Amino acid sequence: METEIIVTDSLTKFYGKIRGIEDISVKIPSGGVGFLGPNAAGKTTLIRTLLGIIRPTRGSAQVLGYDIRHEINEVRDRIGYVPEFNTSFIPDTTAMSFVAFCGRMNGLSYPESKQRASDSLFYVGLGEERYRKFDTFSLGMKQKVKLAVALVHDPEIIICDEPTNGLDPSGRVQMLELIRNLQIDEGKNVILSSHLLRDVEKTTDYALVISEGEILAKGNIRELTANKRSTVSVKVKSKYNDLLEALEVNGLNVWTDGAFIEVEKTPAVEKEIFIIANRIGVDIRYLGSRSRSLEDVFVSLFKEQEVQIH
């Protein structure tokens, strides 16, 4: 069993009335984890809250045992962060001096910062170019510099927020491989935030699926996508377990999240559910597709992938 690197309890952030994330209670295992969700799901809000950049409206979280409200410096020392948008680079600076400067900001001594900057730039594949001014770098190279910055203080956790945005196919592959290798070869804990299922599948084995500020599902990506079957959701007034059992006995494929009973879609399954419920005297309050099922989210993630490919 893996250990947990991050534990959150009812973590919530509202921007005024706008929900960023709400009641997120998760245990994030060590290794590689994807934060997977469509635009505006709350991925960046969750990351920025964990980093103490945003103060939670309520709830709490610990990163490697350190509290994000009271021990944020301990937290930040242990996380390397690749932000979603371009960091402001200091103009007219070489990649080396920029990364080394960030190392100094993270508390490294001058010689350490030089050595670590060089190592990190070599690691991301910019060793040869390290003395070039990065105003002259391509977007893909700038993304790699951001990753080098995240690595410079040798953190235990590296959080990459949409690191492949704007990259061409070969740039994406390179970036995702670097992130995967950090986990596999270097033993780092890696969090990859993305709205692309394929990117997360390639990079991590475990995912949190986030939608509309909430965790919709979590677990092994293969298992999550295997469960991507079409379902009909059923809610009942009472006798929840009776209906669950009766549906199973009648050979329907059912599972439940505790509130709804999900039944695998087959032709005329709705009618069948009504007949079974009626027979055992259970009142159905709701039967249909829920507005934001795991399947809907995956469909939208796949759709966006198609748009990206062509």
Which residues lie near ligand ATP (CB under 6 A)? 15, 18, 20, 37, 39-45, 84, 195
Q: Which stretch binds Mg ion (CB under 5 A): 77-85, 90-98, 110-118, 123-131?
A: 77-85
- Judged by CB under 5 A, does residue 204 bind Mg ion? no
Regarding 211 and contact with Mg ion (CB under 5 A), the answer is no
Helix boundaries (H) for the chain: 43-50, 72-77, 95-105, 110-123, 139-151, 169-184, 197-203, 221-226, 240-249, 269-279, 294-309
Closer Cβ to ligand ATP, 84 or 270, answer by number? 84
Is 304 within 8 Å of 199 (Cβ atoms)?
no
b/e per residue 51-77 (b: at least 16 CB within 10 A): bbebebeebebbbbebebeebbeebbb
Q: Based on CB atoms, which residue is closest to Mg ion, 13 or 43? A: 43
Q: Which residue's C-beta sits nearest to Mg ion?
A: 44
Closest approach, Cβ 195 to ligand ATP, in A, equals: 5
For 97, 133, 251, 291, the CA distances from 281, given in Å and listed in that order, are 74, 74, 19, 27
Which of ligand ATP, Mg ion, none does 153 bind, CB closer than 5 to 8 A by kind?
none
Binding partner of residue 20 among ligand ATP, Mg ion, none, CB cut-off 5 to 8 Å per kind: ligand ATP
d(CA 75, CA 47): 12
Residue 43 CB, shortest distance to Mg ion, in Å, is 5
Closest CA to 136 of 106, 171, 98, 81: 98
Looking at 30, 44, 194, 204, which residue binds Mg ion (CB under 5 A)?
44
φ and ψ at residue 246, rounded to 5 degrees: -65, -40
Stretch that binds Mg ion, among 35-43, 202-210, 240-248, 278-286 (CB under 5 A): 35-43
From the CB of 133, what's the least distance to Mg ion, in Å?
Answer: 29
Residues of this chain that bind Mg ion (CB under 5 A): 43-44, 84
